[in-house]
Amino acid sequence: MNQLHFPILSLITFLPLAGAVLIAFINEKNENFIRYFTFGILVIDFIISLPLFFAFDPSTYHMQFVERVPWIKSLGFQYYVGVDGISLFLVLLTTFLTPIAQLSTWKAVNKKVKLFNIVILFMQTGMLGVFISLDMFLFYVFWEVQLIPMYLMIGIWGGPNRVFATMKFFLYTFAGSVLMMVAIMALYFLNHHYTGVYTSDMVKLMSTPLPAHIQLWLFLAFFVAFAIKVPMWPFHTWLPWAHVEAPTAGSVLLAGILLKMGTYGFLRFNLPMFPDMTHAFAVLVIVLAIIGIFYGAFVAMVQPDIKKLVAYSSVSHLGYSMLGMFALTQVGMEGSILQMLNHGISTGALFLAVGIVYERRHTRLISEYGGLASLVPVFATFFMIFTLSSIAVPGTNGFVGEFMILLGAFLSHPVYGIIVAFGGLFSAVYMLTMYKRVVFLKVTNPKNLDLEDMSKREWIYMVPLVLFVFWIGLYPNTFLSKMRVSVEHLLKQTNRTVQVSMTSKQIQPVKTVVVKKG
Amino acid sequence: MMSVILLFVVLAPLTGFLINGLFGKWTKPYAGVIASLALATSFILGLFPIMSVLNGHIVEYTYYTWLPFKEVSVPFGLRVDALSAVMLFVVTFVSTMIHIYSIGYMHGDKGYSRFFAYLNLFVTSMLLLVLGNSYLLMFVGWEGVGLCSYLLIGFWYEKDTASDAGEKAFVVNRIGDAGFIIGVLFIIYHFGSATYSNIFPRAHQVLNTTSATIIGLALFLGAMGKSAQFPLYIWLTDAMEGPTPVSSLIHAATMVTAGVYMVARSNVIYSMAPIAQEVVASIGAFTAFYAATMALTHKDIKRILAYSTLSQLGYMFIGVGVGAYWTGMFHLMTHAFFKGLLFLGAGAVMHSMRGLLSIDLMGGLKKYMPQTAALMVIASLAISGIPPFAGFFSKDAILAHALEFGHPYIWIVGEVTAFLTAFYMFRFVFSVFYGEEKVPGLYHELHTHEAPSVMTIPMWVLGIMSIIGGLVGLHIGGVIPFKHLVTQIAPSTPIADKAEYPESLLIGVSVTMGLLGIFSAWIIYIKKLITAEKIAKTFKPIYTLLANTYYVDEFVYCCIVKPFWWISTNLLWKIVDVEIIDKGGVDGTGWVAGRIGYLLRFLQTGFINNYAYWISFGIIVLSGWYIVKII
């Protein structure tokens, strides 16, 4: 279904790529022009992505704005893109966050400006491609494509340890991707074995799950690939490295969008395609998620480096997202998706805030700061708002997401809810301790004395984030109403189980639909 | 029309917050006036729904759906019934007075507009807490007041004690909040709703004793955090780092009483859970006594009052815990008047003493600050339960009900605490306002003088309320008006069998306890028949224990905070994360891959004869295996 009768998704996805190609022809001495030009393209990209929001039909779970063109006919691959209530906001988050991230680099990035902007545009195409692909080979192509710009971004514009960090990031996530590639191929052939058609159409694959014993290995392979990306405990150790070394824009996009590809992958592959294994492994995943929530918070608490602290807090926050997802309840799942957006907004904003002071002082150590409230009050206020959003104070977006996840987990099993209810305690500890040491107290370091408060450019990219913090916090219905039907459908798919008579060699899948309570 | 009025009761202080918060740079000279006007508007508008409630209505409006989940839908709605009407009155009235007082008190502070912005935001949150028509909206206010408390305790953020105290308050409160949230989750689980009007009428069908007890205890954990009951009280004394009007408004009159209101609000649930009720009453009684003992030895005037607040909150929990919800609410109201006043008086003293707090430096202040002295005596008489001051009626109602509803031990603890209360309050009054100047020439040097009238007038208003505020607890024409009002929503539900005691006897005991306390303080601090030092020396171990507030803070720091920090740093981060998972697991995998590659390298020597050797070796092995198989 494409209500606009216009290939809007392709336009959104490939416009940045076209921009990148154009920039290649601009002389790299025109740094300012390149910055404006890139920013312009990203803003236009955001504007043309808005019709997705307004024209989106919340009453159906079918894919919308669909484009479908055969790609490799003999193998059944297609260029098949579309969005539903699950991917809609991830697409919008990407088009929203990238211009902000780019705007934050105008002063911070001075080396190889041209290449940097090409990389950002290239990454935008890769990220959007992941969220709109409905053909699993296409998905895989985009998944790999966006690894390269991030690899370059950390490797070229990163901190002193950038090479080690970027290698770790690349190899670790790539190890997961390779596993996913194998799983995708296996899925392709096994699906043929059981249904007689070669297809890489994800929507079709979601609707005809394979027998349970086949699901096991596929589930595990996808699980590892996505768990690394999320990152779930204990696959998270590349994240602090990557965040600490990445430039601000890299951190923002990494935390804001790249990590969401992991959680999104679970929603697209593991849950609907391997429903039996999802139920079988739910407890394990939930346990890992809960460990991540607390472990991330405990380790974040003692970090001397602000970026590392925020990186570990991401482990904690995405633990919530995974918990809500595998609670397999409507409210938990919606909360999980909302948490992805929230994390993109508040953690992205926290990285931007760190970037603002880093740009001026070139250090991220908490102990180097102190007393910023009296020196840069505007910055302190913005920083406070995002801190509060991060610790889920009611009225901000964080609360709505976390409460939904808590409720979802509780309805799945009260024990989960009761344990995780105490998570908010520790997020308050690490965020407020950091905030206190950076912003409150006396100015002890004379180097901070001539800090300048936020510039106009910085205002421009912080204010929209603040608006979303309160919009989602006060009126989440704008977002939730569009997810509802798609999430309902996903749950229906996840809650069916496939029974296979294992005795006969001629395996005939017998489908029985068991809709579980929840 | 009423719906708009009710909405603006909440929006007026929010507007004040936005004006002073966003444009504080420009509104600075008028920030206090703007904030006070916003509050006065809220108070006046609030009188309309209150009148409506007094006429027997319940005012409830829903504005929009805040959380539209499939499993539960939470509207943004406001509700004024008898319980929230009392709170609405107390909050807006006392807040208005304290806002006006702050205009004088905070005059000249560089964060003047920021202070009033926070204060307005606090009142907004507090109003949401009391007026919200569901547990989740109450939670919004609940966390909101916690946030404002954090911001205001740490208002002078350059002082590290203030910043630490703010953070401590927030974190300790979050322990309680987790309990509150668990309670709410159970409520949603059982009722599929968080809205009061969907919960209370159905509670008796939906809940059994076990589930009611679980909900009651979980919610009470929240109350213990917010209302600073043992053992989650540790943040409240540190909270005195904030400006004194904040201590008065947030940490005495309004926010800390939220827990009492919440228990009274949930009376239907508690009345089904005798164990939960018993826990509430016992912790209340214990805290009342425990905190009073700590108030005996403190020298810091604000901390004395802080311990006193803990103790009085304990009384309120006795009231709601034994099932006489109206008495808890009654004491909440009178306490807001006299304790608010006590703090304002302490603030006036600090103001004229340039921030000095120790009672060792004061004495004979009556001469310099006659109005403040008179008001402090009134408030102290009220808290000591001397008739006809406000505290007498409410405290007596609580203790009488504790005994009548079958809790003689709690009654005894309450009476002993009443003695201690009168003693420490008059120790405070006598050593600050009466007697001789302890440091000669200090007052002259500090130019000690009476507070300006912008501060004394609000104090007088609260002083008058401390005198007459208890009269609504008198028998008038056969009914007690306050009881009649509150029991519409929160009827008394005794746990044990009701027993009758002669009222005059109970009053006699209470008043005697109060008078005895005052008399003892008079002997020690005015007449000096026995000096305080001598008593301290005689009971040295006890005195040391009390003066160090039972070493609880030290215990928490040594046995909880520090080990936790150490484990997180040295075990979780440096060993588990860095060494085991990252170096061992992740880099280890890479290392193993590298080693394998290194070993395989030896196979690729580049010499043809080596390869030929391996090929022939392979042929032999394979053919050998083939032959074996054939044989």
| Closest approach of B115 to chain A, Cα-based (Å) | 14
Non-local (6+) Cβ contacts of B622 within 8 A are none
Q: Given this model, what pLDDT does residue A72 score?
A: 87
3-state SS, residue B483 = helix
Among the listed ranges A108-117, A408-417, B438-447, B597-606, which one has the minimum average pLDDT value? B438-447
Q: What is the pLDDT of residue B103?
A: 92
Residue B215: closest CA among B181, B168, B256, B249: B181
**Average pLDDT, stretch B456-466?**
93
8 Å CB contact of B582 and A331: no
Nearest Cα residue in chain A from B582: A237
What residues 351-380 of chain A have any CB closer than 8 A to a CB of chain B? 371, 373-374
Q: Residue A451: its pLDDT value, please?
A: 86
How far is A135 from chain B, CA to nearest CA, in Å?
A: 31
CB contact B629 to A (< 8 Å): no
> What token pair was written down for A424?
């908010």
Is B66 an interface residue toward A (CB < 8 Å)? yes
Whether A515 has a pLDDT exceeding 80, the answer reads: no
A310 touches B at CB < 8 Å = no
Candidates A39, A41, A34, A1; CA nearest to A17 is A41
Choice between A34 and B387, residue whose per-residue pLDDT is larger: A34
Whether A476 contacts chain B with CB within 8 A: yes
Chain B residue whose CA is closest to A421: B178
pLDDT of B62 higher than 70 = yes
> What is the pLDDT at residue A498?
52
User: What CA–CA distance (Å, rounded) separates A476 from B142?
Assistant: 20
Q: CB of B186 within 8 Å of any CB in chain A? A: yes
Q: What is the pLDDT of residues A191-205, one digit of tens each?
A: 888 888 888 899 988
Q: Choose the closest CB to A407 out of B64, B65, B188.
A: B188
Q: Which tokens go with A117? A: 């902007």
Among the partner-chain residues B70, B163, B585, the one whose CB lies closest to the CB of A440 is B163
Which DSSP string do the residues of B286-325 spell out, in sequence order?
HHHHHHHHHHHH--BHHHHHHHHHHHHHHHHHHHHHTT-H
In tens, the pLDDT along B181-222 reads 999 999 999 999 999 999 999 999 999 999 999 999 999 999
Mean pLDDT of chain A: 90
Question: C-alpha angle with apex A273: A269 to A277, nearest 5 degrees?
Answer: 100
Per residue in B72-122, pLDDT (tens digit) is 899 999 999 999 999 999 999 999 999 999 999 998 888 899 999 999 999
CA-to-CA separations, B89 to A322, B285, B316, B476, B538, in angstroms, rounded? 45, 27, 18, 21, 48
How much is the pTM? Answer: 0.91
CA A48, CA A83: separation in Å to the nearest integer?
Answer: 15
Q: Which residues 535-594 of B are in CB contact (within 8 Å) with A? A: 565, 567-569, 572-573, 577, 581-582, 585-586, 590
Average pLDDT over residues B490-500: 75
Consecutive H or E run containing B74: strand B73-80
Min Cα distance A116 → chain B (Å) is: 29
Q: Quote the minimal CA–CA distance from B158 to chain A in Å.
A: 4
Question: Which of A404, A440, A476 is nearest residue B157 as measured by Cβ atoms?
Answer: A440
How far is B372 from B380, CA to CA, in rounded Å?
12
Residues A297-322, buried b or exposed e (16+ Cβ, 10 A)? bbbbbbbebbbbbbbbbbbbbbbbbb
A·B CB contacts under 8 A: 130
Q: How confident is the model at residue B495 (pLDDT cuts 50, 70, 90)?
A: low
Identify the weakest region by mean pLDDT among A235-244, A507-516, B276-285, B377-386: A507-516
Q: Is the pLDDT of residue B130 over 50?
A: yes
* Burial class of A224 by CB neighbour count within 10 A (0 to 12, 13 to 18, 19+): middle
Q: Do A476 and B68 touch (CB under 8 A)?
A: yes
pLDDT band at A512, cuts 50/70/90? Answer: very low
With beta carbons under 8 A apart, name residues in chain A contacting B569. Answer: 302
Q: How far apart are CA A513 and CA A499, in angstroms?
A: 10
Q: Tell me the chain A residues in contact with residue B178 when contact means C-beta distances shorter than 8 Å.
A: 421-422, 424-425
Output the pLDDT for position A300.
Answer: 93
Percent of chain B with pLDDT over 90: 56
User: B177 and chain A: CB distance < 8 Å anywhere?
Assistant: yes
B478 and chain A in contact, CB less than 8 A:
no
Distance from CA of B239 to the nearest CA of A (A): 16
Whether chain A has a CB inside 8 Å of the CB on B185: the answer is yes
Query: Rounded distance, CA A95 to CA A90, Å?
Result: 9
Interface contact A334-B582, CB threshold 8 A: no
ipTM of the complex: 0.91
pLDDT in the model for residue A504: 37
Is B68 at the interface with chain A, CB within 8 A? yes
Q: What is the pLDDT of residue B497?
A: 64
Contacts A399 to B, Cβ<8 Å: 143
Pick the range with the lowest mean pLDDT from A344-348, B144-148, B420-424, B572-576: B572-576
**B109 at A interface, C-beta within 8 A:** no
Q: Does B161 touch chain A if contact means CB atoms closer than 8 Å? A: no
Check whether B582 has a pLDDT greater than 80. yes
B158 neighbourhood in chain A, CB within 8 Å: 371, 374, 440-442
**Do B458 and B43 form a contact (C-beta atoms < 8 A)?**
no
- B contact test, residue of A239, A431, A436, A488 with most B CBs within 10 A: A436
Cα B401 → chain centroid: 24
pLDDT band at A497 (very low <50, low <70, confident <90, very high): low
User: pLDDT confidence of B344, banded at 50, 70, 90?
Assistant: very high
Per-residue pLDDT, B590: 85
pLDDT exceeds 60 at position B359: yes
Does residue A509 surpass a pLDDT of 70?
no
Burial (CB < 10 A; 0-12, 13-18, 19+), residue B617, is: exposed
Q: Identify the band that residue A449 occupies on the pLDDT scale cut at 50, 70 and 90.
A: confident
CB contact under 8 Å between B71 and A411, yes or no, is yes
pLDDT tens digits, B12-54:
999 999 999 888 888 888 899 999 999 999 999 999 999 999 9
Query: What pLDDT, in 10s, does the model give residues A30-79?
Result: 889 999 999 999 999 999 999 999 999 999 999 999 999 988 888 888 99
Of B65, B67, B577, the CB nearest to A400: B67
CB atoms within 10 A of CB B324: 28
Kindly determine whether residue A407 and residue B140, on different chains, have CB atoms separated by under 8 Å.
no
Contacts of B565 in chain A (CB under 8 A): 301-302
Q: What is the band of A120 on the pLDDT scale with cuts at 50, 70, 90?
A: very high
In a mutational test of the A interface, the residue from B11, B17, B63, B69 whose CB has the highest number of chain A CBs within 10 Å is: B69
Chain A (97-156) residues lying within 8 Å, Cβ to Cβ, of chain B: none
pLDDT at A408 over 90: yes
At residue B631, does pLDDT exceed 80? no
Q: What is the DSSP letter of B559?
A: I
* Model confidence band, residue A288 (pLDDT cutoffs 50, 70, 90): very high
Confidence of residue B422 (pLDDT cuts 50, 70, 90): very high
pLDDT above 50 (res A500): no
Least CB-CB distance to A421: which of B157, B178, B573?
B178
